[in-house]
Copies of this chain bind each other. A is one copy, B any other.
């Protein structure tokens, strides 16, 4: 294997001005994890290697021989791609803790290890979410002041995008966890998604300040006193509406169910249409005319156009993509990881969390 040399300022390569340093972002792709064949993810890596050739080095982590074979099929290995052998596989439904303990040579353990050792800047995986989150938290550690990492996802709502956090890194959150989720996702929305001044909402069952459960009621005051553009409680209807908010904060149990429900519902609807349409000639004709609109609706179901879901709050960059990610989704997740590195999102999060803590200490 050949890896690009570590940078002097590893792991996060920060510089004094906070500007992008223009250096190469070294991104590890977990080739093993995911529901599709490995070659699909390799194709995505090659697409990214070509598109971001000047500033990105991609490290493919997985069974070396098989990777080399697949790369040959795909036309060879570009100069900005290297391979690190990780012959073991963690299954999509394996218990994360057990798997991490017993499979030290898995793509997840080896891949996150490269970031932890300063040999890479970011880790991208379509594998077992629990295992990726656990390995990242254990090996990279939490950022200063952050009690719990949270997974953020940019949910597409047909005509706008909302960053939801936490969508499943943990459950039974406390108010302080939700405050940190909000601060971290606001940085993500600003620095990576590109929202100039993100408005932050608290997911609840009513819009009045007093509506909600114990957790949201206690969190409300924390968010109201943070340096955020806090719009208050947000009901699902407002979250779905354009102009409602840019970041929505919730406990990981609720967020995970919401994400999977929305995804499942959209995919069921488009699947149902696909089943119905072949049954009548008139439906087939109708589909042909409406196919562009229906495809757009379907595309909203997988959240992969944007990239992947970052695990925020860890001392490094980990992007979790959907298990079903195709080449294009993998390419987009690599693009997102690169944006995290270039924009020094981790540094911004550390600063924002520290500023909030200082404000609260003063009061």
Residues of A within 8 A of B (CB): 157-159, 168, 171-172, 203, 205, 212-214, 216, 235-237, 239-241, 251-254, 256-258, 260-266, 268-269, 272-273, 276-277, 282-283, 285-291, 293, 297
Contact = CB atoms under 8 A, between A and B. Distances in A.
Copies of this chain, whole number: 2
Contacts of A260: 205, 235-237
A158 B272 contact: yes
B286 A273 contact: no
A261 B258 contact: yes
B268 A240 contact: yes
A172 B214 contact: yes
* A216, A291, A297: residue with the most chain B Cβ atoms closer than 10 Å: A297
A213 B71 CA distance: 43
17 contacts: A158-B268, A216-B253, A235-B257, A236-B257, A237-B264, A240-B261, A240-B264, A261-B261, A262-B262, A262-B265, A269-B269, A276-B293, A282-B289, A286-B286, A286-B289, A286-B293, A289-B289
A257 B257 CA distance: 10
Given A157-B268, A171-B213, A273 B261 contact: no
A265 B283 CA distance: 23
Given A171-B212, A258-B258, A268-B158, A283 B273 contact: no
Contacts of A293: 273, 276-277, 283, 286
A298 to B, nearest CB: 11
A283 B286 CA distance: 8
Given A241-B268, A277-B293, A282-B289, 12 more contacts: A213-B253, A237-B260, A239-B261, A262-B262, A265-B265, A269-B297, A273-B297, A283-B289, A285-B285, A285-B289, A286-B288, A286-B290
A64 to B, nearest CB: 32
A306 B181 CA distance: 39
